[in-house]
């Protein structure tokens, strides 16, 4: 193509003065217009200026930034100068302009030109791989670094740690760190920040303490990351210790450090302390305001977040793009579309509408306000659809259980957009989970491995979760075995899969292994473990889980956890223990009341059930259909026909809860046991549901006791239509005929 440029050149075009050519090329670079790039290149070529030292770097960089790497490569072949130096300059310029993926592509396309690549180039490339989360490219670059012996260099090593951490590959980051000959404050900070950013707060704090023990003095960045880690895991005491240390070193007036302190207090639920630190500062910059607004929004104090956003503006401090993002998040959490629209207008006013983070926050706000079409409109209007925008849209569809549409968008992203990153893959795996598409999930797993993301903690747990929930237990076990860090989340995904698919013994063994490895259980672990105990009738192991849950203070204020314990004790006939757990709950919801009532109902003690039901009403909690079903059940066992009918009427009249088919079936059983067959048939005919197999079998059983062959035949005929297995019905009908012969 280059050989024919002279033939296609339009000689009527004029070349700007030579001294203005770099500026003209810079304008072309800003617009990233390939047509203009070709026009200027042909002019330069026609005037014999292609090999100018001043212009050569711009020419290659221009085509690289416009995405035409093939042209850039052919031009390099024509240059008699140092091709590698030109390309190195292009990579640095691409990264400086934010074209991170293109910088990586240049390096991989022109790999033979980089035999003399230096440490500085590798640092630039690693920065790009970290920002765009290209783990596969980062690994390849790491191999080159090792071959050239740069892996022990502290600057290169720190960039490697940062790259792996940003890709969620913390085991690799730790290995690089341990190989460094000199571990300075910068490399320590990169490791600590990596753990903190990936939600491994305990590991971050352990590294922070180890750094102090080795005599390395933290800097502002280290303190900020340490405070962030404390906030994420709610370790207020350690956060206060870190604050005492940073104050000794004079960082207590550093606004960035103070912002991290405010954020830590908010994350730990110490709102008053956060407010006191904020109010005590004479000068508040936009970063500090943003920290307060963002901290409130992050912790679910959304109304307070919007209040301080308004106060910030009242004090003539103009919100920046990040503040706007925090405000939009608060609006999304509240479902407040009108306030979100007001922030949207301010965003337009201050020119933040082309900011990628603001755009994705806008989409997220619309999604959280259940306005998916608005989010899709924002996305579809984007001239350049970033990876983050794709991720927000796909994630929003998943959150609203639109699994099929999410997978369709993911497919479009693969064909039309940037290559999927870990977030996109996690969303696609969740979509497969929604639809139960284990085969599609396996295909995604293969793509994840090809992309080099299989060791990412979040991705690994998502793959594990898919296999577990779809019942692919062996695949789940294999994935679990490859995880570099086994957190409570990954253990829970495995244990939940076991419990849901009938592998109770494996579930309980995993809970024990988890304890042996020093990973404390959470409410999810306990609930899944109790479910397994219930299935196996393992009262003793259930009591052990109860003890562990009490150690972790998981029960008193967690009605779900409490209900699971009550259910386990009830089903194992330990009603006294069930009642003790119930009485110890600070917050009792309708589920915990219903679970205990169901247990009492199975004992057939009407007085006990009735008394507990009265307690529930006195507590001010309106019952749903479950507690009243327990009342009907005990009426059935005790033969209390009139009481049962009154309870059924109460459900509809007093609580405005329509009785379900299950309620009617229970009452049919009550009437049938009392020998009131005519009333039973009348209820079957009048209830607002079509009787099911349970309804007719209940009537048939009652006919056997009463000896009514006519009604029995009627029930048998209707029941036979509803099942293919008629053996049980035939035996029951034959028994009625024999007994009444």
**Mean pLDDT for the stretch of residues 338-365:** 87
**Mean pLDDT for the stretch of residues 366-372:** 91
From 37-51, 489-503, 681-695, the region with the lowest mean pLDDT: 37-51
**Mean pLDDT for the stretch of residues 48-65:** 56
Q: Categorize the per-residue pLDDT at 43 as very low, low, confident or very high, splitting at 50, 70 and 90.
A: low
Q: Which residue has the tokens 């008699």?
A: 80
Q: What does the pLDDT read at residue 669?
A: 84
Contact 716, 735 (CB under 8 A): no
More confidently predicted of 612 and 390? 390
Highest mean pLDDT among 402-411, 517-526, 616-625, 637-646: 402-411
Nearest to 478 by CA among 442, 502, 508: 442
Q: Rounded to whole angstroms, how far apart are CA atoms 230 and 238?
A: 7
**Mean pLDDT for the stretch of residues 547-564:** 84
Q: Categorize the per-residue pLDDT at 42 as very low, low, confident or very high, splitting at 50, 70 and 90.
A: low
Percent of the chain with pLDDT over 90: 30
Q: Rounded to whole angstroms, how far apart are CA atoms 46 and 657?
A: 85
The pLDDT of residue 683 is above 50: yes
Q: Rounded to whole angstroms, how far apart are CA atoms 483 and 490?
A: 8
Q: What does the pLDDT read at residue 3?
A: 39
In this predicted model, what pLDDT tens digit does every residue of 130-188 receive, in sequence order? 887 777 888 888 988 888 888 888 889 999 999 999 888 899 999 999 999 889 999 99
The pLDDT of residue 363 is above 70: yes
Ramachandran category for residue 284: left, alpha or beta (phi over 0 → left; psi -120 to 50 → alpha) = beta
Ramachandran category for residue 626: left, alpha or beta (phi over 0 → left; psi -120 to 50 → alpha) = alpha
Q: Categorize the per-residue pLDDT at 739 as very low, low, confident or very high, splitting at 50, 70 and 90.
A: low
Q: What does the pLDDT read at residue 216?
A: 93
Q: What does the pLDDT read at residue 710?
A: 85
Angle at 544 between CA 543 and CA 546, to 5 degrees: 60
Nearest to 347 by CA among 363, 331, 359, 338: 359
Nearest to 693 by CA among 713, 732, 670, 721: 721
From 19-23, 213-217, 271-275, 327-331, the region with the lowest mean pLDDT: 19-23
Contact 221, 251 (CB under 8 A): no
The pLDDT of residue 54 is above 60: no
Q: pTM score > 0.95 for this model?
A: no
Q: What does the pLDDT read at residue 306?
A: 92
**Mean pLDDT for the stretch of residues 27-46:** 58
From 18-27, 348-357, 379-388, 678-687, the region with the lowest mean pLDDT: 18-27
Element (H, E) at 165: helix 154-166
Q: Rounded to whole angstroms, how far apart are CA atoms 135 and 520?
A: 31
**E strands, 395-513, where?**
none
From 41-50, 182-191, 652-661, the region with the lowest mean pLDDT: 41-50
For residue 75, give every residue at least 6 positions away whose Cβ sits within 8 Å of its Cβ, in sequence order, or none.
Answer: 2, 50, 59, 60, 63
From 404-408, 454-458, 493-497, the region with the lowest mean pLDDT: 454-458
**Mean pLDDT for the stretch of residues 345-373:** 88
Nearest to 218 by CA among 208, 227, 228: 208
Q: Categorize the per-residue pLDDT at 536 as very low, low, confident or very high, splitting at 50, 70 and 90.
A: very high
The pLDDT of residue 349 is above 70: yes
Contact 681, 699 (CB under 8 A): yes
Q: What does the pLDDT read at residue 119?
A: 79
Q: Rounded to whole angstroms, how far apart are CA atoms 226 and 222?
A: 6
Q: What does the pLDDT read at residue 8?
A: 36
More confidently predicted of 56 and 270? 270
**Mean pLDDT for the stretch of residues 208-232:** 93
In this predicted model, what pLDDT tens digit does every residue of 410-469 receive, in sequence order? 999 999 878 899 999 999 999 999 998 999 999 999 999 988 888 888 899 999 999 998
**Mean pLDDT for the stretch of residues 106-121:** 66
Q: What does the pLDDT read at residue 95?
A: 66
Q: What does the pLDDT read at residue 638?
A: 60
**Mean pLDDT for the stretch of residues 669-698:** 87
Q: Categorize the per-residue pLDDT at 636 as very low, low, confident or very high, splitting at 50, 70 and 90.
A: low
How many residues are recorded in the chain?
A: 741
Other C-beta atoms closer than 10 Å to the C-beta of 33 total 14
In this predicted model, what pLDDT tens digit does every residue of 69-89 receive, in sequence order? 555 556 555 554 444 565 666
């Amino acid at each position: 193509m280059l050989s024919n440029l002279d033939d296609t050149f339009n000689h009527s075009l004029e070349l700007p003065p030579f001294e203005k050519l770099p500026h003209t090329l810079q304008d072309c670079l800003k617009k990233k217009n390939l047509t203009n790039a070709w026009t200027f290149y042909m002019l330069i070529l026609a005037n014999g200026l292609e090999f100018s030292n001043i212009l050569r770097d711009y020419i290659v960089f221009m085509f690289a930034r416009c995405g035409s790497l093939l042209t850039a490569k052919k031009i390099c072949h024509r240059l008699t100068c140092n091709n590698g130096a030109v390309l190195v300059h292009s990579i640095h310029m691409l990264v400086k302009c934010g074209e991170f993926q293109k910088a990586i592509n240049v390096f991989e396309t022109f790999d033979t030109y980089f035999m003399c690549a230096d440490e500085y180039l590798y640092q630039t490339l690693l920065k790009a791989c970290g920002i765009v989360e290209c783990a596969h490219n980062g690994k390849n670059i790491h191999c080159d670094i090792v071959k050239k012996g740069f892996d022990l260099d502290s600057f290169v090593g720190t960039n490697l740690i940062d790259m792996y951490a940003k890709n969620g590959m913390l085991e690799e980051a730790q290995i690089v760190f341990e190989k460094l000959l000199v571990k300075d404050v910068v490399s320590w900070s990169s490791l600590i920040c990596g753990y903190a950013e990936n939600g491994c707060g305990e590991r971050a704090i352990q590294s922070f303490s180890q750094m102090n023990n080795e005599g390395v003095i933290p800097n502002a960045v280290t303190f900020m990351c340490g405070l962030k880690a404390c906030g994420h895991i709610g370790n207020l005491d350690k956060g206060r210790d870190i604050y005492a240390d940073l104050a000794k070193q004079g960082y207590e007036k550093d606004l960035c450090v103070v912002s991290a302190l405010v954020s830590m207090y908010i994350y730990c639920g110490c709102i008053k302390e956060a407010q006191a630190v904020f109010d005590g500062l004479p000068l508040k910059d936009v970063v500090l305001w943003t920290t307060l607004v963002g901290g409130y929004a992050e912790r679910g104090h959304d109304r307070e977040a919007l209040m301080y956003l308004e106060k910030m503006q009242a004090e003539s401090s103009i919100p920046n793009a990040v503040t706007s993002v925090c405000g939009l998040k608060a609006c999304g959490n509240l479902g407040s579309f009108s306030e979100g629209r007001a922030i949207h207008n301010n965003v337009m006013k201050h020119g933040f509408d082309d900011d990628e983070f603001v755009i994705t926050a806008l989409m997220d706000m619309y999604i959280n306000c259940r306005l998916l079409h608005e989010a899709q409109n924002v996305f579809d209007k984007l001239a350049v659809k970033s990876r983050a925008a794709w991720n927000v849209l796909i994630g929003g569809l998943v959150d609203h259980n639109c699994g099929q549409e999410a997978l369709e968008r993911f497919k479009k992203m693969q064909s039309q957009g940037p290559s999927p990153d870990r977030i996109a893959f996690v969303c696609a795996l969740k979509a497969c989970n929604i639809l139960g598409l284990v085969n599609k999930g396996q295909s995604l797993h293969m793509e994840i491995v090809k992309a080099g993301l299989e060791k990412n903690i979040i991705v690994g747990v998502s793959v594990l979760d898919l296999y577990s929930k779809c019942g692919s237990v062996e695949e789940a076990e294999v994935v679990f075995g490859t995880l570099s860090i086994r957190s409570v989340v990954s253990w829970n995904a495995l244990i939940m899969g076991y419990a849901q698919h009938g592998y109770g013994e494996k579930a309980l063994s995993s809970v024990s292994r988890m304890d042996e490895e020093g990973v404390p259980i959470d409410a999810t672990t306990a609930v899944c473990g109790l479910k397994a105990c219930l299935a196996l009738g393992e009262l003793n192991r259930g009591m052990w889980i109860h003890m562990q849950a009490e150690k972790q203070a998981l029960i008193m204020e967690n009605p779900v956890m409490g209900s699971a314990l009550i259910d386990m004790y009830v089903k194992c006939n330990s009603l006294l223990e069930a009642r003790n757990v119930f009485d110890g709950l600070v917050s009792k919801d309708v589920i915990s009341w219903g679970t205990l009532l169901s247990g009492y109902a199975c004992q057939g003690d009407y007085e006990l059930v009735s008394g507990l039901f009265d307690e529930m009403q006195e507590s001010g909690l309106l019952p749903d259909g479950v507690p009243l079903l327990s009342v009907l059940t005990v009426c059935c066992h005790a033969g209390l026909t009139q009481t049962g009918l009154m309870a059924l009427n109460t459900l509809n009249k007093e609580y405005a809860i329509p009785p379900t088919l299950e309620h009617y079936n229970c009452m049919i059983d009550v009437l049938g046991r009392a020998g009131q067959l005519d009333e039973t048939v009348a209820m079957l005919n009048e209830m607002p549901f079509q009787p099911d197999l349970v309804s007719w079998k209940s009537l048939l059983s009652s006919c056997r006791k009463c000896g009514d062959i006519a009604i029995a035949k009627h029930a048998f005929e209707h029941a036979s239509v509803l099942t293919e297995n008629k053996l049980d019905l035939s035996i029951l009908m034959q028994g009625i005929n024999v007994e009444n012969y």
